[in-house]
Amino acid sequence: MTFAVLKTDGNPQAAIRSLLGSLLSAKLVDAVLVASRTPYSALPMPTLCSDATRLEAADPLAPVAPFNAARQAASLLRHDTGRRVAAVLRPCELRALVELAKLHQCALENSLLIGIDCLGRMENSVYLETLKETPDLTTAFYQSDGYRDRVTAACRACTAFQPAAADLAIRVLGHDPAEDIGLEALTEKGRRLVSAIGVASAQPPENREAASAAALEWRRQGREALLRNAADQTGSLTKLQKYFATCLNCYNCRVACPVCYCRECVFGTDVFAHPPEVLLRRAAKRGVVKLPTDTTMFHLTRMAHMSHACVACGHCTSVCPSHIPVADVFIKVASETQALYSYEPGRDVNEPIPLLVFEEESKEKAR
């Protein structure tokens, strides 16, 4: 079985809950990491569920994500516990998880990765507002293009919205989620598990390719516009600094970044906790310095450290208290870095990180 159609009867969440529940009841996995509402808010949070009867609030298709949940998935998979964990993740979360696995932050051997076709996430506040108008947003979101302008800038520019490095994929493109959704097995592990729970094999819907192509084209244009706009706004040192002029050095972007994985970031160490003599010397040299210092240095260093692995999830923008479109410039820089190294983060867990491969003959010129 590589493709199955799951009937939803107007409730795609229920279909997904039943799928995850059958994985748990059949003891094919020991726990499921999935976005669920909590009793206190409609905003779904990553939850870890090991009881098939407690999936009642799971809603992984809700167009919102308060984090890039690769972090939560990686902490669950940090080392081999002998227990099998299924994780329902967005494509950008899967890509980040694969990068974290390459960085030895987690091991994917005991995982079952379930990706979803993702048409974007809204900012938390936008989601909660939209939910007031449309209580059944999870279904309505995929039924028309009516909500696509409400998703984040990074999502509107995302051309990698279909899960790649997953065992199973939950498909919504080409489906009306009020009627059915698709389930595709992408790996042997995925196929085995799906056969074990006994889902009947079916053909993908006819308009799936057309729907994917249309979604891709709209996002490709969005991406081009984002790259062009970021280049215009940051094309010189002065412009770059204007872009980040309201940065507070809070480092929220670094905290939210799923691939900024260092336990201790150099910007949190004494290297950048300058003694007063250093600050006074800098002031004396330049006449005046802004405090805290090293704002431009921070962003450039982060680009140099992680742009090869940037998965373009946009969470850096979402958490910025100064509303700086951090992701736009990072996505632009990442596209250049990734082209330079011919590297696509999250494509394949066996693809080496470019900075860890040293050939005597290299296409990067010495000068």
Partner 1 sequence: MSAYEPKIIVMVCNWCTYTAADLAGTSRLAYPANVRLVRLMCTGMIDVKYILKAFLDGADGVFIGGCHPGDCHYLNGNLKARKRVAGVRKIVEQFGFEPERLRLQWIGASEGPEFQKNMAEFVEAVKTLGPSPARDAVVL
Give me the residues that bind partner 1 (CB under 8 A), please. 231, 234-241, 244-245, 247, 266, 286, 288, 290, 295-297, 300-301, 303-305, 307-308, 332-333, 336-337, 340-341, 354-355, 357-360, 362, 364-367
The residue (of 39 and 287) whose beta carbon lies closer to partner 1 is 287
The distance of Cα 243 from the centroid of its chain, to the nearest Å, equals: 24
Q: Which residues pair with 122 in a beta bridge?
A: 64, 151
Instruction: Between 40 and 358, name the residue whose CB sits nearer to partner 1.
Output: 358
- How many Cβ atoms sit within 10 Å of the Cβ of residue 281? 13
Cβ-contact 132, 158 below 8 angstroms: no
Chain centroid, CA 151 distance in Å: 14
Minimum CB separation of residue 57 from partner 1 in Å reads 43
**CB proximity list for 327: less than 8 A, separation 6 or greater:** 152, 153, 154, 312, 313, 314, 315, 316, 317
> Closest distance between partner 1 and the C-beta of residue 36, in Å?
39
Residue 196 vs 357, nearer CB to partner 1: 357
Q: Contacts from 289-297 at CB under 8 Å and sequence distance 24+?
A: 292/249, 294/249, 294/267, 295/241, 295/244, 295/247, 295/249, 296/237, 296/240, 296/241, 296/244
CB of 9 to partner 1, least distance (A): 51
- DSSP category for residue 162: S
Torsion angle defined by CA atoms of residues 326, 316, 258 and 112, in that order, rounded to the nearest 10 degrees: -110
* DSSP code at position 239: H
**Least Å from the CB of residue 85 to partner 1:** 34
Least Å distance between CB 289 and partner 1? 8
Least CB distance to partner 1 at residue 301 (A): 5
In the complex with partner 1, the residue whose CB is nearer, 196 or 355, is 355
Cα–Cα nearest to 13, from 202, 147, 140: 140
Report which secondary-structure segment, H or E, holds 45.
strand 41-49
Which of 176/344 has CB closer to partner 1?
Answer: 344
Whole-angstrom distance, CA of residue 44 vs CA of residue 69: 11
Q: Which is nearer to partner 1, 240 or 255 (CB)?
A: 240
Q: State in angstroms the smallest separation of the CB of 325 from partner 1.
A: 16
Q: In angstroms, what is the minimal distance from the CB of 288 to partner 1?
A: 8
Q: Where are the alpha helices (DSSP H) in the chain?
A: 12-25, 70-76, 91-102, 124-133, 137-143, 153-156, 188-197, 208-234, 237-243, 252-256, 276-286, 295-306, 315-318, 326-340
Return the number of the residue (80 or 264) whose C-beta is nearest partner 1. Answer: 264
Nearer to partner 1, 144 or 236 (CB): 236
Residue position matching structure tokens 């919102």: 64
Amino acid found at 63: P
What distances in angstroms separate CA 113 from CA 68, 97, 166, 269, one per listed residue?
15, 10, 5, 35
Q: Which is nearer to partner 1, 48 or 300 (CB)?
A: 300
**Residue entry with tokens 């592990």:** 189
Largest Cα separation within the chain, whole Å, is 75
104 versus 367: smaller Cβ distance to partner 1: 367
**Residue 238 Cβ vs partner 1, minimum distance, rounded to whole Å:** 5
Shortest reach from residue 362's CB to partner 1, in Å: 6
